[in-house]
Protein backbone atom coordinates (compact mmCIF):
# COMPACT_ATOMS: atom_id res chain seq x y z
CA UNK A 1 0.00 0.00 0.00
CA UNK A 2 1.34 3.43 -0.92
CA UNK A 3 1.53 6.04 1.80
CA UNK A 4 -1.42 8.46 1.39
CA UNK A 5 1.08 11.31 1.82
CA UNK A 6 2.83 10.27 -1.41
CA UNK A 7 -0.53 10.09 -3.17
CA UNK A 8 -1.57 13.52 -1.98
CA UNK A 9 1.73 15.12 -2.95
CA UNK A 10 1.53 13.31 -6.30
CA UNK A 11 -1.88 14.86 -6.94
CA UNK A 12 -0.58 18.32 -6.01
CA UNK A 13 2.36 17.93 -8.40
CA UNK A 14 0.10 16.76 -11.23
CA UNK A 15 -2.07 19.80 -10.70
CA UNK A 16 0.95 22.08 -10.74
CA UNK A 17 2.03 20.61 -14.06
CA UNK A 18 -1.46 20.89 -15.52
CA UNK A 19 -1.79 24.52 -14.34
CA UNK A 20 1.70 25.92 -14.92
CA UNK A 21 0.64 29.58 -15.17
CA UNK A 22 2.06 30.67 -11.76
CA UNK A 23 5.39 28.98 -12.49
CA UNK A 24 5.64 30.37 -15.99
CA UNK A 25 4.70 33.87 -14.87
CA UNK A 26 7.42 33.73 -12.21
CA UNK A 27 9.98 32.58 -14.75
CA UNK A 28 8.87 35.16 -17.28
CA UNK A 29 9.09 37.98 -14.73
CA UNK A 30 12.50 36.83 -13.62
CA UNK A 31 13.95 36.57 -17.14
CA UNK A 32 12.47 39.96 -18.06
CA UNK A 33 14.05 41.69 -15.05
CA UNK A 34 17.42 40.10 -15.67
CA UNK A 35 17.47 41.23 -19.31
CA UNK A 36 16.08 44.70 -18.71
CA UNK A 37 18.11 45.70 -15.66
CA UNK A 38 21.30 44.28 -17.10
CA UNK A 39 20.67 46.23 -20.29
CA UNK A 40 19.75 49.42 -18.43
CA UNK A 41 22.38 49.64 -15.70
CA UNK A 42 24.75 46.76 -16.40
CA UNK A 43 27.41 49.29 -17.36
CA UNK A 44 28.12 50.08 -13.70
CA UNK A 45 29.39 46.55 -13.12
CA UNK A 46 33.01 47.64 -13.53
CA UNK A 47 32.90 49.55 -10.19
CA UNK A 48 34.99 47.88 -7.48
CA UNK A 49 31.95 47.64 -5.15
CA UNK A 50 30.53 44.96 -7.47
CA UNK A 51 33.45 42.66 -6.75
CA UNK A 52 34.83 42.37 -10.27
CA UNK A 53 32.57 39.52 -11.40
CA UNK A 54 30.39 41.62 -13.68
CA UNK A 55 26.93 43.09 -13.13
CA UNK A 56 25.04 39.92 -14.01
CA UNK A 57 26.76 38.09 -11.15
CA UNK A 58 25.51 40.83 -8.82
CA UNK A 59 22.03 40.96 -10.33
CA UNK A 60 21.38 37.22 -10.57
CA UNK A 61 19.95 36.79 -7.02
CA UNK A 62 17.31 39.40 -7.92
CA UNK A 63 16.25 37.09 -10.75
CA UNK A 64 15.96 34.15 -8.35
CA UNK A 65 14.02 36.12 -5.73
CA UNK A 66 11.68 37.79 -8.20
CA UNK A 67 10.54 34.47 -9.63
CA UNK A 68 9.05 33.67 -6.22
CA UNK A 69 6.40 36.33 -6.56
CA UNK A 70 4.63 34.52 -9.35
CA UNK A 71 5.62 30.94 -8.58
CA UNK A 72 4.51 30.99 -4.96
CA UNK A 73 0.86 31.64 -5.80
CA UNK A 74 0.25 28.11 -7.08
CA UNK A 75 -0.70 26.49 -3.76
CA UNK A 76 -3.20 29.21 -2.91
CA UNK A 77 -4.77 28.95 -6.37
CA UNK A 78 -4.92 25.15 -6.21
CA UNK A 79 -6.49 25.17 -2.75
CA UNK A 80 -8.90 27.84 -3.83
CA UNK A 81 -10.03 25.69 -6.76
CA UNK A 82 -10.59 22.74 -4.41
CA UNK A 83 -12.50 24.90 -1.95
CA UNK A 84 -14.61 26.44 -4.69
CA UNK A 85 -15.57 23.09 -6.20
CA UNK A 86 -16.32 21.60 -2.77
CA UNK A 87 -13.70 18.91 -3.33
CA UNK A 88 -11.69 20.20 -0.38
CA UNK A 89 -14.61 19.12 1.80
CA UNK A 90 -14.43 15.64 0.30
CA UNK A 91 -10.70 15.47 1.00
CA UNK A 92 -11.30 16.74 4.53
CA UNK A 93 -13.54 13.72 5.14
CA UNK A 94 -10.77 11.23 4.36
CA UNK A 95 -9.02 9.54 7.27
CA UNK A 96 -5.77 11.45 6.84
CA UNK A 97 -4.63 14.64 8.57
CA UNK A 98 -6.35 17.54 6.86
CA UNK A 99 -3.20 19.63 6.91
CA UNK A 100 -1.68 17.03 4.53
CA UNK A 101 -3.64 18.54 1.63
CA UNK A 102 -2.33 22.01 2.42
CA UNK A 103 1.23 20.79 2.96
CA UNK A 104 1.10 18.92 -0.35
CA UNK A 105 0.12 22.08 -2.22
CA UNK A 106 2.95 24.01 -0.56
CA UNK A 107 5.42 21.20 -1.33
CA UNK A 108 4.37 21.26 -4.97
CA UNK A 109 5.04 25.00 -5.09
CA UNK A 110 8.39 24.42 -3.39
CA UNK A 111 9.33 21.80 -5.99
CA UNK A 112 8.36 24.20 -8.77
CA UNK A 113 10.39 27.00 -7.19
CA UNK A 114 13.44 24.73 -6.83
CA UNK A 115 13.37 23.78 -10.51
CA UNK A 116 12.65 27.36 -11.59
CA UNK A 117 15.56 28.63 -9.52
CA UNK A 118 17.90 26.25 -11.30
CA UNK A 119 16.55 27.48 -14.64
CA UNK A 120 17.09 31.13 -13.66
CA UNK A 121 20.63 30.39 -12.48
CA UNK A 122 21.27 28.62 -15.78
CA UNK A 123 19.92 31.65 -17.62
CA UNK A 124 22.18 33.91 -15.54
CA UNK A 125 25.18 31.78 -16.50
CA UNK A 126 24.23 32.10 -20.16
CA UNK A 127 24.03 35.87 -19.72
CA UNK A 128 27.52 35.99 -18.32
CA UNK A 129 27.34 35.38 -14.58
CA UNK A 130 30.24 33.18 -13.46
CA UNK A 131 28.92 30.39 -11.22
CA UNK A 132 32.08 30.31 -9.13
CA UNK A 133 30.38 28.53 -6.23
CA UNK A 134 29.89 25.44 -8.43
CA UNK A 135 27.13 22.90 -7.83
CA UNK A 136 27.10 23.56 -4.08
CA UNK A 137 26.51 27.25 -4.69
CA UNK A 138 23.82 26.63 -7.28
CA UNK A 139 21.90 24.06 -5.23
CA UNK A 140 22.39 26.07 -2.03
CA UNK A 141 20.87 29.11 -3.72
CA UNK A 142 17.96 27.06 -5.07
CA UNK A 143 17.42 25.59 -1.59
CA UNK A 144 17.39 29.03 -0.01
CA UNK A 145 14.90 30.32 -2.58
CA UNK A 146 12.76 27.22 -2.10
CA UNK A 147 12.63 27.57 1.68
CA UNK A 148 11.71 31.25 1.52
CA UNK A 149 9.34 30.69 -1.41
CA UNK A 150 7.55 27.94 0.52
CA UNK A 151 6.94 30.50 3.25
CA UNK A 152 5.36 32.94 0.79
CA UNK A 153 3.37 30.13 -0.79
CA UNK A 154 2.10 29.00 2.62
CA UNK A 155 1.24 32.52 3.74
CA UNK A 156 -0.70 33.05 0.49
CA UNK A 157 -2.55 29.77 1.07
CA UNK A 158 -3.37 30.82 4.63
CA UNK A 159 -4.71 34.17 3.41
CA UNK A 160 -6.93 32.49 0.82
CA UNK A 161 -8.23 29.88 3.28
CA UNK A 162 -8.97 32.45 5.95
CA UNK A 163 -10.76 34.89 3.68
CA UNK A 164 -12.07 32.65 0.90
CA UNK A 165 -10.78 35.22 -1.60
CA UNK A 166 -8.62 33.80 -4.38
CA UNK A 167 -7.59 37.36 -5.32
CA UNK A 168 -5.32 37.25 -2.29
CA UNK A 169 -3.28 34.42 -3.83
CA UNK A 170 -0.73 36.84 -5.23
CA UNK A 171 -1.04 39.57 -2.62
CA UNK A 172 1.57 38.26 -0.18
CA UNK A 173 4.01 37.83 -3.06
CA UNK A 174 3.31 41.39 -4.24
CA UNK A 175 3.89 42.74 -0.74
CA UNK A 176 7.22 40.96 -0.52
CA UNK A 177 8.04 42.17 -4.04
CA UNK A 178 8.10 45.75 -2.76
CA UNK A 179 10.82 44.76 -0.31
CA UNK A 180 13.02 44.03 -3.32
CA UNK A 181 13.36 47.76 -3.92
CA UNK A 182 14.36 48.34 -0.31
CA UNK A 183 17.23 45.88 -0.46
CA UNK A 184 20.71 45.90 -2.08
CA UNK A 185 19.12 44.54 -5.23
CA UNK A 186 20.68 46.70 -7.92
CA UNK A 187 23.61 48.21 -6.06
CA UNK A 188 25.47 47.20 -2.88
CA UNK A 189 24.51 48.87 0.38
CA UNK A 190 27.52 51.18 0.31
CA UNK A 191 26.42 52.68 -3.00
CA UNK A 192 22.89 53.44 -1.84
CA UNK A 193 22.47 57.21 -2.03
CA UNK A 194 20.00 57.73 0.83
CA UNK A 195 20.96 56.96 4.40
CA UNK A 196 17.39 55.92 5.23
CA UNK A 197 17.50 53.27 2.50
CA UNK A 198 20.66 51.83 3.99
CA UNK A 199 18.95 51.61 7.38
CA UNK A 200 15.82 50.01 5.92
CA UNK A 201 17.86 47.54 3.90
CA UNK A 202 19.66 46.46 7.06
CA UNK A 203 16.27 45.39 8.47
CA UNK A 204 14.99 43.94 5.23
CA UNK A 205 15.14 40.12 5.24
CA UNK A 206 15.52 40.07 1.45
CA UNK A 207 18.87 41.87 1.84
CA UNK A 208 20.33 38.84 3.60
CA UNK A 209 18.82 36.44 1.09
CA UNK A 210 20.34 38.26 -1.86
CA UNK A 211 23.71 38.76 -0.21
CA UNK A 212 23.85 35.07 0.74
CA UNK A 213 22.98 34.05 -2.81
CA UNK A 214 25.79 36.25 -4.16
CA UNK A 215 28.21 34.53 -1.79
CA UNK A 216 27.03 31.06 -2.79
CA UNK A 217 26.75 31.63 -6.54
CA UNK A 218 29.66 33.96 -7.30
CA UNK A 219 31.72 34.21 -4.13
CA UNK A 220 30.84 37.91 -3.73
CA UNK A 221 30.36 39.48 -0.28
CA UNK A 222 30.48 38.28 3.30
CA UNK A 223 29.99 34.54 3.95
CA UNK A 224 28.44 35.40 7.33
CA UNK A 225 25.23 36.39 5.47
CA UNK A 226 24.60 32.75 4.49
CA UNK A 227 23.53 31.36 7.90
CA UNK A 228 21.49 34.52 8.57
CA UNK A 229 19.71 34.07 5.25
CA UNK A 230 18.92 30.43 5.93
CA UNK A 231 17.59 31.39 9.37
CA UNK A 232 15.36 34.07 7.79
CA UNK A 233 14.12 31.63 5.15
CA UNK A 234 13.48 28.92 7.76
CA UNK A 235 11.43 31.31 9.88
CA UNK A 236 9.42 32.34 6.81
CA UNK A 237 8.99 28.73 5.65
CA UNK A 238 8.01 27.28 9.00
CA UNK A 239 5.92 30.26 10.09
CA UNK A 240 3.99 30.37 6.83
CA UNK A 241 3.41 26.64 6.85
CA UNK A 242 2.16 26.70 10.43
CA UNK A 243 -0.23 29.54 9.56
CA UNK A 244 -1.52 27.61 6.54
CA UNK A 245 -2.10 24.41 8.52
CA UNK A 246 -3.93 26.32 11.22
CA UNK A 247 -6.22 27.85 8.60
CA UNK A 248 -7.77 24.54 7.50
CA UNK A 249 -10.41 24.59 10.22
CA UNK A 250 -11.49 28.03 9.02
CA UNK A 251 -12.43 26.57 5.64
CA UNK A 252 -14.55 23.83 7.20
CA UNK A 253 -16.27 25.82 9.90
CA UNK B 1 -31.80 -3.90 21.43
CA UNK B 2 -29.16 -2.94 18.83
CA UNK B 3 -26.25 -0.74 19.84
CA UNK B 4 -26.31 2.91 18.93
CA UNK B 5 -23.93 3.81 16.15
CA UNK B 6 -24.54 7.53 16.68
CA UNK B 7 -24.90 9.11 20.10
CA UNK B 8 -25.23 12.85 20.48
CA UNK B 9 -25.82 14.66 23.76
CA UNK B 10 -26.60 18.32 24.31
CA UNK B 11 -25.24 19.57 20.99
CA UNK B 12 -25.37 23.30 20.56
CA UNK B 13 -24.09 25.47 17.76
CA UNK B 14 -24.56 29.16 17.12
CA UNK B 15 -23.15 30.76 14.00
CA UNK B 16 -21.27 34.01 14.33
CA UNK B 17 -23.59 36.79 13.13
CA UNK B 18 -26.21 34.12 12.62
CA UNK B 19 -28.98 32.24 14.37
CA UNK B 20 -28.66 29.47 16.92
CA UNK B 21 -28.66 26.40 14.68
CA UNK B 22 -28.68 23.74 17.39
CA UNK B 23 -30.05 24.32 20.86
CA UNK B 24 -29.22 21.10 22.69
CA UNK B 25 -29.70 18.10 20.42
CA UNK B 26 -29.85 14.65 21.98
CA UNK B 27 -30.00 11.82 19.47
CA UNK B 28 -29.37 8.09 19.40
CA UNK B 29 -29.31 6.19 16.12
CA UNK B 30 -29.09 2.40 16.21
CA UNK B 31 -26.73 0.27 14.12
CA UNK B 32 -27.76 -0.71 10.63
CA UNK B 33 -30.92 1.33 10.43
CA UNK B 34 -32.24 3.71 7.80
CA UNK B 35 -32.70 6.95 9.63
CA UNK B 36 -34.47 10.01 8.27
CA UNK B 37 -33.83 13.45 9.73
CA UNK B 38 -36.68 15.81 8.93
CA UNK B 39 -37.19 19.48 9.53
CA UNK B 40 -37.97 22.73 7.80
CA UNK B 41 -35.28 24.81 6.11
CA UNK B 42 -33.11 26.32 8.83
CA UNK B 43 -34.13 23.73 11.42
CA UNK B 44 -30.49 22.73 11.87
CA UNK B 45 -30.35 19.50 9.82
CA UNK B 46 -27.27 20.35 7.78
CA UNK B 47 -25.47 21.74 10.82
CA UNK B 48 -26.16 18.52 12.71
CA UNK B 49 -24.92 16.38 9.81
CA UNK B 50 -21.74 18.44 9.49
CA UNK B 51 -21.02 18.00 13.19
CA UNK B 52 -21.73 14.26 13.11
CA UNK B 53 -19.38 13.79 10.17
CA UNK B 54 -16.55 15.80 11.83
CA UNK B 55 -16.61 18.74 9.41
CA UNK B 56 -17.91 21.28 11.94
CA UNK B 57 -17.47 21.59 15.65
CA UNK B 58 -20.23 21.97 18.16
CA UNK B 59 -20.09 24.79 20.70
CA UNK B 60 -20.98 22.34 23.46
CA UNK B 61 -22.18 18.78 23.89
CA UNK B 62 -20.60 15.53 22.78
CA UNK B 63 -20.87 13.07 19.94
CA UNK B 64 -19.74 9.48 19.56
CA UNK B 65 -19.76 7.45 16.35
CA UNK B 66 -19.59 3.69 16.85
CA UNK B 67 -18.63 4.34 20.45
CA UNK B 68 -15.71 6.65 19.60
CA UNK B 69 -16.00 10.25 20.77
CA UNK B 70 -15.38 12.63 17.89
CA UNK B 71 -13.14 14.82 20.01
CA UNK B 72 -10.89 11.84 20.69
CA UNK B 73 -9.65 11.37 17.12
CA UNK B 74 -11.72 12.19 14.14
CA UNK B 75 -9.43 10.41 11.65
CA UNK B 76 -10.49 7.03 13.02
CA UNK B 77 -14.12 8.11 12.79
CA UNK B 78 -13.72 9.37 9.24
CA UNK B 79 -12.60 5.88 8.25
CA UNK B 80 -15.97 4.56 9.43
CA UNK B 81 -18.26 7.06 7.77
CA UNK B 82 -19.21 7.99 4.24
CA UNK B 83 -20.63 11.43 3.51
CA UNK B 84 -22.51 12.99 0.64
CA UNK B 85 -23.45 16.54 1.50
CA UNK B 86 -26.08 18.64 -0.21
CA UNK B 87 -23.71 20.25 -2.75
CA UNK B 88 -21.62 17.91 -4.87
CA UNK B 89 -17.96 17.65 -3.92
CA UNK B 90 -16.09 16.63 -7.04
CA UNK B 91 -12.75 17.46 -8.60
CA UNK B 92 -13.95 19.02 -11.85
CA UNK B 93 -10.67 18.32 -13.62
CA UNK B 94 -10.57 14.56 -12.94
CA UNK B 95 -12.57 11.73 -14.48
CA UNK B 96 -15.11 9.71 -12.54
CA UNK B 97 -12.90 6.62 -12.73
CA UNK B 98 -9.79 8.41 -11.44
CA UNK B 99 -11.69 10.11 -8.64
CA UNK B 100 -13.17 6.84 -7.41
CA UNK B 101 -9.78 5.12 -7.54
CA UNK B 102 -8.07 8.04 -5.78
CA UNK B 103 -10.74 7.98 -3.10
CA UNK B 104 -10.03 4.29 -2.51
CA UNK B 105 -6.31 4.98 -2.19
CA UNK B 106 -7.01 7.72 0.36
CA UNK B 107 -8.76 5.09 2.45
CA UNK B 108 -5.78 2.76 2.30
CA UNK B 109 -6.69 0.51 -0.64
CA UNK B 110 -3.81 -0.68 -2.81
CA UNK B 111 -3.91 0.32 -6.47
CA UNK B 112 -5.53 -2.90 -7.73
CA UNK B 113 -8.22 -2.92 -5.06
CA UNK B 114 -8.96 0.77 -5.56
CA UNK B 115 -9.28 0.26 -9.32
CA UNK B 116 -11.53 -2.77 -8.83
CA UNK B 117 -13.78 -0.93 -6.41
CA UNK B 118 -13.96 2.01 -8.81
CA UNK B 119 -15.15 -0.29 -11.62
CA UNK B 120 -17.72 -1.88 -9.30
CA UNK B 121 -19.18 1.49 -8.34
CA UNK B 122 -19.12 2.81 -11.91
CA UNK B 123 -21.22 -0.20 -12.91
CA UNK B 124 -23.54 0.03 -9.92
CA UNK B 125 -24.27 3.72 -10.47
CA UNK B 126 -24.55 3.49 -14.25
CA UNK B 127 -21.50 5.69 -14.77
CA UNK B 128 -19.55 3.34 -17.07
CA UNK B 129 -20.34 5.25 -20.28
CA UNK B 130 -18.99 8.48 -18.80
CA UNK B 131 -16.27 6.98 -16.62
CA UNK B 132 -13.41 8.74 -18.39
CA UNK B 133 -15.03 12.13 -18.72
CA UNK B 134 -13.94 14.93 -16.45
CA UNK B 135 -16.45 15.61 -13.70
CA UNK B 136 -16.95 19.13 -15.05
CA UNK B 137 -18.33 17.60 -18.27
CA UNK B 138 -20.89 15.32 -16.58
CA UNK B 139 -24.61 16.06 -16.48
CA UNK B 140 -26.11 17.19 -13.19
CA UNK B 141 -27.58 13.75 -12.53
CA UNK B 142 -24.30 11.96 -13.22
CA UNK B 143 -22.43 14.39 -11.00
CA UNK B 144 -24.87 13.55 -8.25
CA UNK B 145 -24.37 9.80 -8.77
CA UNK B 146 -20.61 10.15 -8.70
CA UNK B 147 -20.91 12.28 -5.58
CA UNK B 148 -22.77 9.50 -3.78
CA UNK B 149 -20.56 6.74 -5.23
CA UNK B 150 -17.48 8.50 -3.80
CA UNK B 151 -19.03 8.30 -0.36
CA UNK B 152 -19.36 4.53 -0.67
CA UNK B 153 -15.89 3.59 -1.90
CA UNK B 154 -14.59 2.37 1.47
CA UNK B 155 -17.83 0.57 2.47
CA UNK B 156 -18.65 2.88 5.36
CA UNK B 157 -20.40 1.69 8.48
CA UNK B 158 -22.44 4.87 8.66
CA UNK B 159 -23.48 6.80 5.60
CA UNK B 160 -24.51 10.44 6.02
CA UNK B 161 -26.57 11.82 3.16
CA UNK B 162 -27.74 15.42 3.20
CA UNK B 163 -30.64 15.87 0.76
CA UNK B 164 -29.13 13.11 -1.39
CA UNK B 165 -31.66 12.85 -4.17
CA UNK B 166 -32.03 16.54 -4.99
CA UNK B 167 -31.46 17.02 -8.71
CA UNK B 168 -31.81 13.34 -9.62
CA UNK B 169 -34.28 12.27 -12.27
CA UNK B 170 -36.91 9.69 -11.18
CA UNK B 171 -34.97 6.78 -12.66
CA UNK B 172 -31.72 7.78 -10.95
CA UNK B 173 -33.58 8.39 -7.73
CA UNK B 174 -35.13 4.92 -7.78
CA UNK B 175 -31.75 3.33 -8.52
CA UNK B 176 -30.12 5.39 -5.80
CA UNK B 177 -32.60 4.32 -3.14
CA UNK B 178 -32.42 0.70 -4.26
CA UNK B 179 -28.66 0.89 -3.73
CA UNK B 180 -29.13 2.43 -0.29
CA UNK B 181 -31.51 -0.34 0.70
CA UNK B 182 -29.07 -2.95 -0.57
CA UNK B 183 -26.22 -1.34 1.36
CA UNK B 184 -28.28 -1.35 4.48
CA UNK B 185 -29.58 -4.91 4.06
CA UNK B 186 -26.48 -6.63 2.72
CA UNK B 187 -23.62 -4.64 4.19
CA UNK B 188 -25.34 -3.55 7.40
CA UNK B 189 -24.55 0.13 6.85
CA UNK B 190 -26.55 2.69 8.79
CA UNK B 191 -28.03 5.11 6.27
CA UNK B 192 -28.64 8.48 7.91
CA UNK B 193 -30.32 10.93 5.56
CA UNK B 194 -31.96 14.31 5.58
CA UNK B 195 -34.70 14.99 3.10
CA UNK B 196 -37.44 17.43 2.25
CA UNK B 197 -39.27 14.70 0.33
CA UNK B 198 -41.47 13.13 2.99
CA UNK B 199 -42.46 10.24 0.74
CA UNK B 200 -38.76 9.30 0.63
CA UNK B 201 -38.56 9.29 4.39
CA UNK B 202 -41.72 7.18 4.56
CA UNK B 203 -40.57 4.73 1.94
CA UNK B 204 -36.90 4.42 2.76
CA UNK B 205 -36.61 5.21 6.48
CA UNK B 206 -37.21 2.90 9.44
CA UNK B 207 -36.76 5.55 12.07
CA UNK B 208 -36.86 9.30 12.10
CA UNK B 209 -36.27 12.43 14.07
CA UNK B 210 -37.85 15.81 13.47
CA UNK B 211 -35.68 18.83 14.16
CA UNK B 212 -37.44 22.04 14.98
CA UNK B 213 -35.75 25.26 16.11
CA UNK B 214 -32.51 23.41 16.76
CA UNK B 215 -34.03 20.74 19.00
CA UNK B 216 -35.20 17.17 18.42
CA UNK B 217 -38.95 17.62 18.51
CA UNK B 218 -39.76 13.99 17.77
CA UNK B 219 -37.79 10.76 17.76
CA UNK B 220 -39.32 7.40 16.93
CA UNK B 221 -40.24 5.06 14.09
CA UNK B 222 -41.63 6.27 10.81
CA UNK B 223 -44.77 4.18 11.23
CA UNK B 224 -45.23 5.31 14.82
CA UNK B 225 -44.93 8.97 13.84
CA UNK B 226 -47.47 8.65 11.05
CA UNK B 227 -49.88 6.76 13.28
CA UNK B 228 -49.57 9.28 16.10
CA UNK B 229 -49.91 12.45 14.06
CA UNK B 230 -51.62 11.69 10.76
CA UNK B 231 -54.81 10.18 12.03
CA UNK B 232 -56.40 7.06 10.55
CA UNK B 233 -55.18 6.26 7.05
CA UNK B 234 -52.91 9.31 7.03
CA UNK B 235 -49.42 9.24 5.63
CA UNK B 236 -46.14 10.68 6.89
CA UNK B 237 -46.64 13.96 5.07
CA UNK B 238 -50.00 14.57 6.70
CA UNK B 239 -48.55 13.57 10.06
CA UNK B 240 -45.55 15.86 9.62
CA UNK B 241 -47.67 18.84 8.66
CA UNK B 242 -50.02 18.26 11.62
CA UNK B 243 -47.06 17.89 13.93
CA UNK B 244 -45.35 21.09 12.81
CA UNK B 245 -48.64 22.99 12.87
CA UNK B 246 -49.37 21.88 16.41
CA UNK B 247 -45.86 22.91 17.51
CA UNK B 248 -46.33 26.33 15.93
CA UNK B 249 -49.68 26.70 17.69
CA UNK B 250 -48.09 25.57 20.96
CA UNK B 251 -45.29 28.09 20.59
CA UNK B 252 -47.80 30.80 19.77
CA UNK B 253 -50.00 30.09 22.77
CA UNK B 254 -46.88 30.00 24.98
CA UNK B 255 -45.98 33.47 23.68
CA UNK B 256 -49.51 34.66 24.25
CA UNK B 257 -49.41 33.30 27.81
CA UNK B 258 -46.13 35.10 28.44
CA UNK B 259 -47.58 38.28 26.91
CA UNK B 260 -50.69 38.04 29.09
| B55 chain-A contacts, CB cut-off 8 A | 89, 92-93, 252
CB-CB contact of B16 with B40 (8 Å): no
The candidate with the shortest Cα–Cα distance to A131, out of A207, A209, A214, A33, is A214
Grouping H, G, I as helix, E, B as strand and the rest as coil, residue B121 is helix
Inter-chain residue contact A87 with B150, CB threshold 8 Å: no
Q: What per-residue confidence (pLDDT) applies to A5?
A: 83
> For chain B, which residues score pLDDT lower than 50?
1, 259-260
Higher-pLDDT residue of A230 and A20 is A230
Give the sign of the dihedral formed by CA A197, CA A200, CA A204, CA A207.
Answer: positive
Pairing, β B60-65 against β B4-14: antiparallel
Whether residue B101 contacts residue B67, with contact meaning beta carbons closer than 8 Å, is answered with no
Instruction: Write the pLDDT tens digit of every residue in A46-62.
Output: 888 888 888 999 999 99
Quick check: A247 and A162 in contact, CB under 8 A?
A: yes
Q: What are phi and psi of B156, to 5 degrees?
A: -70, 155
Yes or no: say if A209 and A229 are a contact pair by the CB < 8 Å rule.
yes
Q: Where are the beta strands (DSSP E) in A122-189?
A: none
Å between B13 CA and nearest CA of chain A: 11
CB neighbour class for B6 (10 Å; exposed up to 12, middle 13-18, buried from 19): buried
3-state secondary structure of B134: strand
Q: Are A56 and A42 in contact (CB under 8 A)?
A: yes
Prediction pTM value: 0.87
pLDDT at position B135, please? 95
Residues of A in contact with B87 (CB under 8 A): 86
Q: What percent of chain A has pLDDT over 70?
A: 99
Chain-chain contact of B55 with A4 (C-beta, under 8 angstroms): no
**B110 CA: distance to closest CA in chain A (Å):** 5
pLDDT at B256: 58
Per-residue pLDDT at B1: 47
- B87 CB within 8 Å of a chain A CB: yes
Distance from the A16 Cα atom to the nearest Cα atom in chain B, whole angstroms: 13
- HEC per residue, B27-89: EEEECCCEEEEECCCCCCHHHHHHHHCCCCCCCEEEEEECCEEHHHCHHHHHCCEEEECCCCC
Interface test with B, best of A9, A10, A93 (most B CBs within 10 A): A93
Strands (E), chain B: 4-14, 20-30, 34-38, 60-65, 68-69, 81-84, 158-162, 190-194, 207-212, 215-221
Rg, Å, chain B Cα set = 19
Q: Looking at the partner chain, which of A87, A89, A96 has a beta carbon nearest the beta carbon of B55?
A: A89
Cα separation, B94 vs B20, in Å, equals: 38
pLDDT, tens digit (0-9, with 9 covering 90-100), for A81-140: 999 899 999 999 999 999 999 999 999 999 999 999 999 999 999 998 999 999 999 999
User: Could you read off the pLDDT of A212-244 as tens digits, one per residue?
Assistant: 999 999 988 889 999 999 999 999 999 999 999
For residue B122, the model assigns a pLDDT of 95
CB-nearest to B56 from A15, A95, A253 is A253
What is the least distance, in Å, from the CA of A249 to any CA of chain B? 8
Of B79, B88, B91, the CB nearest to A95: B79
B53, B78, B89 member nearest A87 (Cβ): B89
**Domain edges within chain A:** 23-252
What does the CA dihedral B202, B208, B209, B210 come to, rounded to 10 degrees? 0
On chain A, the residues whose CB falls within 8 A of the CB of B75 are 95-97
Amino acid sequence: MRNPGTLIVGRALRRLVSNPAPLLSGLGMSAFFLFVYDAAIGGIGFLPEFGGAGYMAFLLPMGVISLLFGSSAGSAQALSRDIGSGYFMRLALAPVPRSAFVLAAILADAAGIFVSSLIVLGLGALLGAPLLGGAVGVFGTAALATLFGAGISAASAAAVMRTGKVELAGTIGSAVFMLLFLAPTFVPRELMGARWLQVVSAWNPLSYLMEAMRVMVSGLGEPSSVPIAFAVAAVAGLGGTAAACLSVRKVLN
Amino acid sequence: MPENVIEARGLTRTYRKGPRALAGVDLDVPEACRFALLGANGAGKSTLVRILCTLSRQDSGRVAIAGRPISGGSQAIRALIGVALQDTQLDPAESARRQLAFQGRLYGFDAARAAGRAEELLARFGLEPVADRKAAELSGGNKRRLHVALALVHRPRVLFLDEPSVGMDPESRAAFWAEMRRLNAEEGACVFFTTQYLEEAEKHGDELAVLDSGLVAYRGTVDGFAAAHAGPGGDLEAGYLNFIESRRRGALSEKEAVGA
